[in-house]
Structure 1
Amino acid sequence: MLLFANNYDLRSGEPKWWLTKRSLDLPGCEAGGPADVILGDGTPAWVDGGPSGAIPPLDHAVISGEELEFGRLTRIDQPVLSPDDALADDQRAATLHMAGAARVIAPAGSGKTRTMSARLRHLLDDRGVAAESVIAVAYNKRAADELRERAGAPKQTVRTVHSLGWAILRDAYPNLSLLGEADQRRLLDELVHVQHRANTDPMAPYLEALDQVRLGLQSPRWVEDDGDDLEDFAEAFDPYRERLYAAGSVDHAEQIYGAIEVLLRNAALRRKWQRRCRHLLIDEFQDLTPAYVLLLRLLASPRLQVYGVGDDDQVIYGYSGADPRFLTEFDQWFPGATHYALETNYRCPAPVVTAATNLLSWNRVRVDKSIKPGPQARQDPEAFRVMPGISGEMALDAADRIEEWIAAGTDPKDIAVLSRVNASLIPVKAVLVERDIPTHDQLGMKSVQRSMVRALFAWLRMAQDPSEMSATDVREAIRRPGRGLNGVANNTRLPSQLSLEELRDASMQMKARHEAKWLEFCDDIEKVVRASRSGDARKAIGAVLDTAGLISSAQAFDRSGNSTSKPSHEDDLAAIQRAATLHTDLATFEAWLSRAMERPSSTDGVTISSIHRVKGMEWPKVIVFGADAGAIPHRLSDDREEERRIFHVAITRCSDEVVVLADQDRPSPFLNQLTTVAPPPDAAPKRPDRGQVRSRFKQSGKQTSDAVVGDLVSVGGGYQGRIVSRNDDEVLIATESGPKMYFKTHEIVRILEGAAGSGNTGETELGPEDEALFEALRAWRMDRATDAGVPAYVVAGDATMRLIAAARPTTDTELLAIKGIGAAKLENYGDDIIDIVSQFEN
């Protein structure tokens, strides 16, 4: 116990040093002498209760009290062997850290893995620390295997964080098994009411929400309120977990969440694992989520001997809860930590190091650091080039550069092409396939079968032969962009093949308001037909995107997703448009692209990947593809600083040369920052540069800035409570769990209940005409819920219906902007809602 590690026990009236008593239980140690004990060779020794780090020599020998738990009499007053002479001075300083918590800032290419493995060897070999008290946590299995091999450490000493959580859970529940996603979906299907339809995945938001709660430590209610298409989630969360354990299984995220729970509930188990994790070494510290940090703090308590190695400039998984503040504010989590910094980038050429340093200087939430290139770094300015070009020809530029490198002797597997999103690389793979250059990639037929791309190809097929259109293509095209005609199209009898004129004639069976929309759809087909007569795929695709409005529909769906972790529909369409520049023949374009996507990946080929997939990896030659405005920084991201970090990760993957390709008409604003250092920040506290921030939250009635004293509000992190006081910048909230806590005003998520007289009821106010529309929507909702055999709130809650009545959306784009309406709701109910609203508008 920490209490007796620092104090004598006087409860019996006689002072007792418990560590002395424990040492006397070991052979080769006896009582007496001028210190605490006498060792087997007659040496008097003190028994130290502090962390088992080396200390200067004293009047007598000193043995570690920590090591007594493992039956070892380990002296800590003797000179410690120096680690590997190959270490640089900064790496050696970090490796020789004495005791307590330590933060090691390890920028790209600075020898992070070398330092981690040297530290692990140093503890086990040089200091003789018991392997049973050391755990090194690696980011993934590949990194764990590499660290274990480099350090020559026992298998159980190096784990991934999920492996560690799994071991703790299995200690508490020995017969647990690990559940796959298919079984997760089956369990959820028993607890939530969703409507399954072709080409939709209504369970995907629920699976993401489960991770958001458990790895982000967020309230299930807050997650449901903040998301769309998540009815029943908060109520289903606890029963879902109960059914997991009842079935003797857990899923991936539960390995962490469940481990936290059993450690908090079971004191004996907690003490056992804290003993096992007396020394915790954490790799890639910047990628930890709130749940990971909590688990590791529990395991490291009470001494908190955590050796955290990472780089705040490589935090690129913000969507999963990773936060640079876990490193910038390391002392808050692990008080009294010693700080170390690795300062040499041994990987990248000098011009890349300079560009990366300039770029990162524009971020405000970061650890100030000095980074210099290694002594053998390439100095040639040609090692880092930014090459603006014509948008549609950028894939050709990339292929030309790759061919030059290969011709000069570079192996294809030593080349990587990286982009902000994977879909952007579709034209790159297509042209490399055409040139018979092997690729190592994640692109396949699924890449060109997402909903907006399916709709695009349906439009193109209809445009090429309007005399013999497929009814399947008609129904696909009528859904995207949405026109409120899905139900009408499904209920209208269409022949399997029909002409455009026959399609027009079908409108005669319809109500007037549907007939007008149907004929508008036919007019749009005619416009695309005219644009396609030249046989140029570029013109035809442009007509579908702009004239027919598919790009606007894609943007609306993207905005409704609230997450940059998901593929963007607009990125999909932009990639297809760029690919059309490579193969302009409309008649064969779809088949040509499909053949390219079908080619299997080869581990010997050029790596084609999103930036997120390759963090921690390197290649001699790297192309950063598509450094365009809207791509880097990504148009859907609120966090400008994270977008800079993503770009920085991309350019620092190279060991010899990097080329950045950008659209000359829409270059990324970050390109100028590669060559200029940011001006000094003012004296204001550091806050993230979020650029033009787009709210994560949709229309919800009252603005959160209107919150007043007495309002019941929810705030970031899942907390709820009444506002006790507030000023322009922050509020003091009496939380429902008891304590009062300060929050920034921008952290208020929603006003749940207004104070008396405040007017903040949390309910959208409606006029008489809007109330009539609201009642009509409620009546429709009851009919749909009855037909589907689900509760009415599964169709839509009252709050969402009131927002619809107030906003009166008449298009998919407008409907998606309503809080509570996501892609699944739009798919299932959008036509009906727009139809009802249109009746009232007319």
Structure 2
Amino acid sequence: MDVSHLLDELNDAQREAVTAEDGHVLVLAGAGSGKTRVLVHRIAWLIQVHHLSPMSLLAVTFTNKAAGEMRSRVGQLLGLRPDGLWIGTFHGICHRILRMHSKEAGLPETFQILDSEDQYRLIRRVIRDMELDEGEYPARQMQGLINYHKDEGRRPENIEAFDNPHALTQVDIYRNYEDYCRRSGLVDFAELLLRTLELLRDNDARRKQYQDRFGHVLIDEFQDTNKLQYALVRLIAGQRARLFVVGDDDQSIYGWRGARVENVSDFARDFDPAMIRLEQNYRSTATILEAANRVISHNDERMGKNLWTEGQQGEPIRVFSAFSAEEEAEFVVARIRDWLEAGGAATEAAVLYRSNAQSRLFEHQLLAEGIPYRVYGGQRFFERAEIKDAMSYLRLVHNGDDDPAFERVVNVPARGIGERTVAGIREQARSDGQSLFAAARQMVTAGALSARAGNAVGQFLDLIDRLDERTREAGLGEMMAAVVETADLATWYRKREAPDRAETREENLTELIRAAETFAQPLEDEQAGLSPLASFLAQAALEAGEHQGEKWQDCVQLMTLHSAKGLEFPLVFMAGMEEGLFPHQKSTEEPGRLSEERRLCYVGMTRAMQRLYLTYAESRQLYGRTGTTYPSRFLSELPEELTEMVRPRIQHATGGGFGPRSGDAGAGLGFDLGSTVSHERFGIGTVVNVEGSGDNARVQINFEQAGPKWLVLSYANLERLD
């Protein structure tokens, strides 16, 4: 059999990884080194050369988009239909297993997935039902804590509270939340993983079934796995399966959400794999790669890689020192304007920053310049309020025990059902151990509500019954259209919102109907016995949990450094390269955080293909205060021969060569750059810029208390102190 087409387009290291003989393999894949190509070709190699059944392979990645791309490319390479392949995210694979064994996993067949926002709302409801102080037990904080315990494999009964009253109450919240989910047949994202782990751990027959089935397990982005995911991998692999793990310890940047960079070194220790390094980069210039290599080399305990390219050396990395955050934004947008005027596309330019709050000034400047932009990672389609409203109706038709869906739409559109009525229904449900829907029907039948409330609740229950009857034999598109029409959602939005916003919501509802009409049920869901409706609801919830953004139009991309992972752009600006901002001030307070911040810098730099700017401001308002800032230590780790200062300034004491340098801009005006001066109103400050001459001369002074100010010398009445 001619398999040359599987190897022709691979470099030597990629070919070594794809054709590795039996045994465990760890592929350390540097940024832009073609790891997806290696994974796809490895799957094809095992199927075509080793004659393995496609159903005996399990491939896991971190986003539905990546899984879909991998599935499609394998199908194209082998000329087979990829639907049945076990390629998916950890959450998607676990969902598939739980659907097939829901009873053994202790779940109802109709269990539904809670997305992050619905989980938050439910936890908030639990806290209120317990009559706790929401200031002392914030729902967002409790959501993070519950997910953390689940990621660590801990149920409420496994948590040591050490007789601490606060910790004991937190455990009670977790326990009550679990009871609520169990009663309503709901599963959150972390539960998908934990419930699957428990099923395989505690059920010998199921564990053996999957260990016998999967002879090869391939995992992408291994540096992003958490403790629970690593335990799942070990459990599924057992003693027989061969693991093919692809990861990069230098790109582990999600420690704050449970990812363990140690999993890469633990895998090397636990499985003694063959180690293959992919170091040839197909994305960036040699200059960018050499600089990124130098920065990341300051991290200890790396497994070690050195990115290189056969491509061009490229332009130097440009470092720009701005007087203020406003001037930083002006500079960046001016360079983007230059790029566009030279024929570049807006979508080829990206501005990366450490904190979401930094986007405001760039948005303001881009608007002023009339340059289209998009804040990447904004609200996804299935997270929008009108979409969640319509989907909640559909969820309630599918499963009457879905309490979060009931609470969301019981008074949407407004039908006179107040919070007091809902609280009464909730109390009845809790007392009888039943769902809100069942309790509401019981109270209406028994006349336990006031005449007005009983009539309103009864109308809502009738509406759900009508929807149930109307959609029983309907296709998905018809179901969705029936929900939107019967609930009269579009009219509701038109009555309560501005015309343009209501129109947008109506357009989104139309798009939702179209999405339902064109929904292609995955083969695995069909094989698991899911109805098209159950499959649609599950896929929508899984998609709402994605961290990756959607495809963009032709506009400048604004995003956090964390959001940029996996992306690439010809022109990249990394803004706010200042101590306390990047690296973040908290990074010096917790072990390992500074190393992760440096990895984040490395990830940001390696997003750039052709041109990279690193910018910082000498003063910035941070945490409500304007103050002097200092260049990031990461700038001092750059090789000087690979960088170019765009505009020299005064040297900061701790600038490491990349602060502003002294000059003669103030010659003849009596105020040199760096002079310390006093102003009657603003106090003491430092001269950081001088422009003009004679009566038009003015200076910019960075005042210790008032921040940066431009003053006309002939009126300022400044006193020089040095």
1:210 to 136, 143, 146: 146
Equivalenced residue count is 440
1:298 to 227, 235, 240: 235
Query: Is 1:410 matched up with 2:344?
Result: yes
Query: Is 1:90 matched up with 2:13?
Result: yes
620-629 or 295-304: bigger deviation: 295-304
The corresponding residue for 1:609 is 559
- The equivalences for 1:86-125 within 5 A come to 86-125=9-48
Query: Is 1:154 matched up with 2:82?
Result: yes
The corresponding residue for 2:362 is 428
Query: Is the CA contact (8 Å cut-off) linking 2:72 and 2:82 kept in structure 1?
Result: no
The corresponding residue for 1:163 is 92
The corresponding residue for 1:647 is 601
Query: Is 1:251 matched up with 2:221?
Result: no
Query: Is the CA contact (8 Å cut-off) linking 1:324 and 1:365 kept in structure 2?
Result: no
The corresponding residue for 1:663 is 617
Query: Is the CA contact (8 Å cut-off) linking 1:349 and 1:655 kept in structure 2?
Result: yes
The corresponding residue for 1:189 is 125
Query: Is 1:357 matched up with 2:321?
Result: no
The corresponding residue for 1:582 is none
1:400 to 334, 338, 342: 334
2:278 to 342, 367, 373: 342
The corresponding residue for 1:672 is 636
Query: Is 1:175 matched up with 2:104?
Result: no
**Aligned-pair distance for 1:624?**
0.5
Alignment deviations for residues 667-689 of structure 1 (CA, whole Å, 9 cap, x no partner): 00111112289xxxxxxxxxxxx
Alignment deviations for residues 242-261 of structure 1 (CA, whole Å, 9 cap, x no partner): 44233222111100011101
1:234 to 167, 171, 176: 171
The corresponding residue for 2:372 is 438
- Decide whether aligned partners of structure 1 residues 407 and 227 sit closer, same or farther in structure 2, where only a CA change above 3 A counts: farther
* SS of equivalent to 1:614: coil
The corresponding residue for 1:511 is none
- Between the aligned partners of 2:608 and 2:378, the Cα distance in structure 1 is 26
- Decide whether aligned partners of structure 1 residues 295 and 429 sit closer, same or farther in structure 2, where only a CA change above 3 A counts: same
* SS of equivalent to 1:280: strand
- Between the aligned partners of 1:230 and 1:414, the Cα distance in structure 2 is 49
Query: Is 1:142 matched up with 2:65?
Result: yes
**Aligned-pair distance for 1:210?**
1.3
**Aligned-pair distance for 1:229?**
7.5
- The equivalences for 1:235-384 within 5 A come to 235-333=172-270, 335-373=271-309, 375-376=310-311, 378-382=312-316, 384=317
* SS of equivalent to 2:577: coil
- Between the aligned partners of 1:328 and 1:622, the Cα distance in structure 2 is 31
- Between the aligned partners of 2:552 and 2:201, the Cα distance in structure 1 is 47
**Aligned-pair distance for 1:94?**
0.4
Query: Is the CA contact (8 Å cut-off) linking 1:356 and 1:651 kept in structure 2?
Result: yes
- Decide whether aligned partners of structure 1 residues 668 and 224 sit closer, same or farther in structure 2, where only a CA change above 3 A counts: farther
The corresponding residue for 1:630 is 580
- Decide whether aligned partners of structure 1 residues 443 and 300 sit closer, same or farther in structure 2, where only a CA change above 3 A counts: closer
- Between the aligned partners of 1:228 and 1:208, the Cα distance in structure 2 is 19
- Decide whether aligned partners of structure 1 residues 662 and 107 sit closer, same or farther in structure 2, where only a CA change above 3 A counts: same
* SS of equivalent to 1:329: helix
* SS of equivalent to 1:636: helix
**Aligned-pair distance for 1:365?**
2.0
Query: Is the CA contact (8 Å cut-off) linking 2:119 and 2:143 kept in structure 1?
Result: no
**Aligned-pair distance for 1:107?**
0.6
Query: Is the CA contact (8 Å cut-off) linking 2:29 and 2:246 kept in structure 1?
Result: yes
- Decide whether aligned partners of structure 1 residues 641 and 88 sit closer, same or farther in structure 2, where only a CA change above 3 A counts: same
- Between the aligned partners of 1:197 and 1:294, the Cα distance in structure 2 is 34
- Decide whether aligned partners of structure 1 residues 227 and 79 sit closer, same or farther in structure 2, where only a CA change above 3 A counts: farther
- The equivalences for 1:409-808 within 5 A come to 409-442=343-376, 603-637=553-587, 638=590, 639-664=593-618, 665-675=629-639
- Decide whether aligned partners of structure 1 residues 425 and 253 sit closer, same or farther in structure 2, where only a CA change above 3 A counts: same
Q: State the percentage of identical aligned residues.
A: 31
* SS of equivalent to 2:585: coil
- Between the aligned partners of 1:245 and 1:124, the Cα distance in structure 2 is 41
**Aligned-pair distance for 1:161?**
0.7
Which amino acid in the other structure matches residue 323 of structure 2? I
- Between the aligned partners of 2:64 and 2:23, the Cα distance in structure 1 is 27
* SS of equivalent to 1:109: coil
- Between the aligned partners of 1:602 and 1:228, the Cα distance in structure 2 is 49
Query: Is 1:390 matched up with 2:323?
Result: yes
Query: Is the CA contact (8 Å cut-off) linking 1:184 and 1:251 kept in structure 2?
Result: no
- Between the aligned partners of 1:209 and 1:309, the Cα distance in structure 2 is 29
The corresponding residue for 1:9 is none
645-654 or 601-610: bigger deviation: 601-610
Alignment deviations for residues 106-162 of structure 1 (CA, whole Å, 9 cap, x no partner): 010111111111111111222221111101111101111111122216233211110
Query: Is the CA contact (8 Å cut-off) linking 2:211 and 2:241 kept in structure 1?
Result: no
The corresponding residue for 1:771 is none
- Decide whether aligned partners of structure 1 residues 185 and 227 sit closer, same or farther in structure 2, where only a CA change above 3 A counts: farther
- Which protein, 1 or 2, shows the higher relative CO under an 8 Å CA cutoff with sep ≥ 6? 2
**Aligned-pair distance for 1:421?**
1.4
- Between the aligned partners of 1:301 and 1:79, the Cα distance in structure 2 is 33
- Decide whether aligned partners of structure 1 residues 224 and 194 sit closer, same or farther in structure 2, where only a CA change above 3 A counts: farther
The corresponding residue for 2:442 is none
- Decide whether aligned partners of structure 1 residues 255 and 141 sit closer, same or farther in structure 2, where only a CA change above 3 A counts: same
- Between the aligned partners of 1:636 and 1:232, the Cα distance in structure 2 is 28
TM-score (norm 2): 0.57
Which amino acid in the other structure matches residue 636 of structure 2? N
- Between the aligned partners of 2:347 and 2:163, the Cα distance in structure 1 is 43
Query: Is the CA contact (8 Å cut-off) linking 2:153 and 2:228 kept in structure 1?
Result: yes
Query: Is the CA contact (8 Å cut-off) linking 2:60 and 2:90 kept in structure 1?
Result: yes
- Between the aligned partners of 2:165 and 2:242, the Cα distance in structure 1 is 42
Query: Is the CA contact (8 Å cut-off) linking 2:86 and 2:93 kept in structure 1?
Result: no
Query: Is the CA contact (8 Å cut-off) linking 1:216 and 1:320 kept in structure 2?
Result: no
**Aligned-pair distance for 1:316?**
0.3
**Aligned-pair distance for 1:424?**
1.2
Query: Is the CA contact (8 Å cut-off) linking 2:24 and 2:242 kept in structure 1?
Result: yes
- Between the aligned partners of 1:226 and 1:110, the Cα distance in structure 2 is 51
Structure 1: gaps spanning 5 or more residues: 1-77, 446-600, 678-842
Alignment deviations for residues 478-530 of structure 1 (CA, whole Å, 9 cap, x no partner): xxxxxxxxxxxxxxxxxxxxxxxxxxxxxxxxxxxxxxxxxxxxxxxxxxxxx
**Aligned-pair distance for 1:223?**
8.7
* SS of equivalent to 1:326: helix
Alignment deviations for residues 336-362 of structure 1 (CA, whole Å, 9 cap, x no partner): 311111111111111111111111111
- Between the aligned partners of 2:159 and 2:605, the Cα distance in structure 1 is 37
Query: Is the CA contact (8 Å cut-off) linking 1:137 and 1:144 kept in structure 2?
Result: yes
CA RMSD of aligned residues (A): 2.9
Query: Is the CA contact (8 Å cut-off) linking 2:214 and 2:241 kept in structure 1?
Result: no
